[in-house]
Chain A
Amino acid sequence: MIDALRAAAAAAVPSGISVGVDVVSVERVRVALGRTPSLVANILSSDEMVSAPAGRLAEFVAGRWAAKEAICKALGVGLCQLRPNAITITSDAAGPGLTVGFAVDVPAHLSGVHVSVSITHDAGIAAAVAAVVADAAAG
């Protein structure tokens, strides 16, 4: 699976950059979390679980879901190949940027790429765009 994911990521960024985008309704996520509470732990990484604001959980999860979907689209892999909770998106301490990290058993899949992501919320919608930049040395 490691080789397959690396190959998929490389194939997705043949010219050096690939993008993905996703959008989800915050209310839809709120309803889903009420119906299936364990969905939170299946979407958020353990670090994200700690930082998730209790009063805005649905909005937070919706943003993270959209971002992780966007990342998978940019990588050219499905969520069955890269579980959302294996991705951690944290806020940069120095500014509005976000940092993307992968679970310890995942980096080998993605050693040749750099991932950037941006999340926005408005009008009950969470949306995200991800960009994957291939490391030429890894190709």
Chain B
Amino acid sequence: MQQVTTRAEVAATISELLAELGFTWSPGDSEKIHVFDDLGFDSFDGYELVTMLEDRFEVPSAPEDFAATFTMGSIVDVVCSKICAT
């Protein structure tokens, strides 16, 4: 399991996963970037990213976790809410 404890590390890891999917977003970019409207995600991309996040962070996600999650900042927040040190 990858030990990730800070929001910045979560954001960096998500950036790496996005690159594997062929999308570009860096932690320094706007967190308001919309994964569907701005990055060009479709539902298959979204579902693969959720699966990759589960694998990488070893935290199962409930279906509703990402139901209203469409911006990069909100994705980072959902993951961080599960694993970041408080």
Partner-B contacts on A (CB < 8 A): 1, 24, 28-29, 32, 35-36, 38-39, 42-43, 65, 69, 78-84
Given A36-B48, A81-B63; 16 other pairs, CB 8 A cutoff: A24-B44, A28-B44, A35-B20, A36-B51, A42-B47, A42-B51, A69-B43, A78-B43, A79-B43, A79-B46, A79-B47, A79-B63, A80-B63, A80-B65, A81-B64, A81-B67
**Closest chain A residue to B69, Cβ basis:** A80
B41 proximal to A (CB < 8 A): no
**Closest chain A residue to B46, Cβ basis:** A79
A78 and B63 CA atoms in complex are apart in Å by 10
Interface string of B43-72 (1 = CB under 8 A from A): 110111011101100000001111100000
Q: Are A80 and B67 in contact (CB under 8 A)?
A: yes
Partner-A contacts on B (CB < 8 A): 20, 43-44, 46-48, 50-52, 54-55, 63-67
A36 with B52, Cβ < 8 A, contacts A42-B47, A69-B43, A84-B47 known: yes
Q: Are B55 and A36 in contact (CB under 8 A)?
A: yes
Q: How many A-B residue pairs have CB under 8 A?
A: 42
**Closest chain B residue to A73, Cβ basis:** B43
Most buried by A among B44, B52, B54, B67: B44
Contacts of A35 on B, CB cut-off 8 Å?
20, 48
A42 and B65 CA atoms in complex are apart in Å by 15
**Closest chain B residue to A80, Cβ basis:** B67
